[in-house]
Amino acid sequence: MASYSPLRKILMICGLMLVLVGPLLMIQVKIDERQNRARLVSYEISNQFAKEQTLVGPLLMVPRVREYWATESTRDATEEEAVSPRRKLRRDLDRYLPDTLDIQGNLQSRMLYRGIYGTPVYQSVIELEARFPTEWLQAAKADASIVSSGTPLLVFRVGDLRGLVERPALRIGERTLPLVEPASMPSVLQGGGVVAAPLPEDLSGPFTVRLRLNLNGSTSLAALPMAKETRMTLRGDWPHPSFSGLMLPAEREVSEDGFIGRWQTNSLAASSAIDCLQSDGHCRDDSQLLRVDLVQPVTGLLSSERALKYSFLIVGLTFAAFFLFEVMRRVAMHPMQYLLVGLALAMFYLLLVALGEHVDFVWAYVSGAVACVGLIGVYLSAVLKSKLAGWGFALAQLIVLGLLFGILMAEDYALLMGSLLLFAALAAVMILTRRVDWHGLAQRGGTSS
C-alpha cells in the first residue's frame, strides 16, 4: 500500500486551493458586474430626475466697457518703423460678492428604483439671503478707465436647471425681479445652470436679496461659500448623511429621523473658493464646496465583496481541519472530497451575492450559511461514516462563518478580529499536533491519498 506523506497531502491541499481560485474569481467578476449595473442605474435615474445640485450665488455682475492704451508698430514708405499709442476698448464683466450670505435648506428624500437597484433623490426648499454693499457703485466712480456700464445683473447658479420645480423668485424688499431669458444673457453666462435678473436702476445704496428655490436633486447638495460671511443650515430626513468639502459643519446632529448640519465660514477661510469664483465665474472643484451627500448604507453587494475577501481564510481553515482529522484519526480523505467541500463553500458566497440583492444581508448570510453547512454536514456524515464526525465538522464550519460575520459587522476592528482568528487557528493546530510523530507518519501504511 502506498505510504502516507504529510508533505504530499499539504501540497495537494495547496493545489486544490489554487483550483478554487477560478470559481471564487468568477464570483468576484459577478459582484463587479452587479456593482457596475447599480452605478449605471444610479446615473440614469439622476440624469432623468435631476443631477447633484450645487448652489453658487447670488452675486452681482456688471458689464462694463474699459479703455486702455496699446502700442502699435507701423512702417512708412521708407520702411522706417514708428511706434505710436492707440486707444482701445475692452468688454469686462465685473463680479461683486455679497458681504453676508445665509442659506437655509430643508431636504425631503426618498429612493427611486429601477428594477432592484435604486438611488436617493430629494425635493428641497432652499431660502437664501445675501446683503450687498455699495462697492459696485463706488467702483464706477473710482475707475477712470470705465467708459460705460451696462445693466447690473444678479446672478445665481444651480447644478441642474431641470431640478427647478418652479421659476425662482428673486426679491429686493417687496419687489420681485424679472428673470432674464437665457438667450438674452451675456454669452459668458449662457449655459451652466445660470439664473439672472436685472438690478433695479433706482438702487443707490446697500441692498438685500432674497431667493427661494424649490429644487429637486439626487445624491448630494452643495453650496459655494462666496461671501465675506457665509452661514448655511441644512436639514434633511435622510439618516445616513456624509459631510465633506471645504470644511465640516460647525454643528451637526444625525439620527434615524434625519440630520441637521450648520456651517459658518468667512472670506479668509474660504479665500480659495472666492478666488476660484472670481477667476471665471465657475467653480468645479468639489474641495471648495460645503457639501452633504445622501449615502446609501452598506449594500448586500458591498458586504458580499468584503466577505469574499475572507474566502481563502475560510477554505484554508476548513482544509486544515480535514488534514488534522486525517492526522489525528488516521483516516485518509480523497482529494475529490476536499474539492467538493471547497466548491460548497464557494457556493455559499454565490448564494450570498444572489440573496443579498433581494433580502437584508443578515438574512442572506444566515440562509446561505445554513444551506451550505447543512449540505457539508450531510456529505461528510456519509464520507466519514460517522454522523458525529460529519455534523461536528458542520458545526465547526458554522462557528467559523459566525466569526466571519462578526468580523464583517465590526468594520473598525476587522483586522484585529481576523488576526486573532488566525492566531487561534494556528495555536489550535500547534497544540493538537504537539505529540504527533511526523517522521513516523511517513513510514506507516495507509490508504493512498
Q: Looking at 36-40, 56-60, 109-113, 126-130, which range is the least confident one?
A: 56-60
Tens of pLDDT along 58-68? 888 887 777 77
Tens of pLDDT along 11-52? 888 888 899 889 989 998 988 998 898 889 888 898 888 899
Mean of the per-residue pLDDT values for the chain? 82
The mean pLDDT of 62-91, rounded to a whole number, is 69
The mean pLDDT of 105-126, rounded to a whole number, is 91
Q: In which band, very low, low, confident or very high, does the pLDDT at 101 lie, cut at 50, 70 and 90?
A: very high
Does residue 126 surpass a pLDDT of 90?
Answer: yes
Q: What is the pLDDT of residue 304?
A: 85
Helix 335-356 vs helix 311-329: angle between axes, to the nearest 10 degrees?
150
Tens of pLDDT along 238-250? 999 999 888 889 9
Q: What is the pLDDT of residue 445?
A: 47
Is the backbone of residue 181 left (phi > 0), alpha (psi -120 to 50) or beta? beta
Q: Looking at 273-282, 305-314, 413-422, which range is the least confident one?
A: 273-282
305 within 8 A of 408, measured Cβ to Cβ: no
Residue whose C-alpha is closest to residue 196's, from 217, 180, 178: 180
Does residue 170 surpass a pLDDT of 60?
Answer: yes
Domains of the chain: 6-38+300-443 (no CATH), 54-294 (2.60.40)
Q: What is the pLDDT of residue 128?
A: 93
Does residue 115 surpass a pLDDT of 60?
Answer: yes
The mean pLDDT of 303-308, rounded to a whole number, is 86
Q: Which residues pair with 103 in a beta bridge?
A: 128, 232
Phi, psi of 106 (to 5 degrees): -130, 120
Q: What is the pLDDT of residue 412?
A: 73
The mean pLDDT of 114-142, rounded to a whole number, is 83
The mean pLDDT of 422-439, rounded to a whole number, is 79
Compute how many other C-beta atoms are within 10 angstroms of the C-beta atom of residue 57: 27
The mean pLDDT of 363-388, rounded to a whole number, is 90
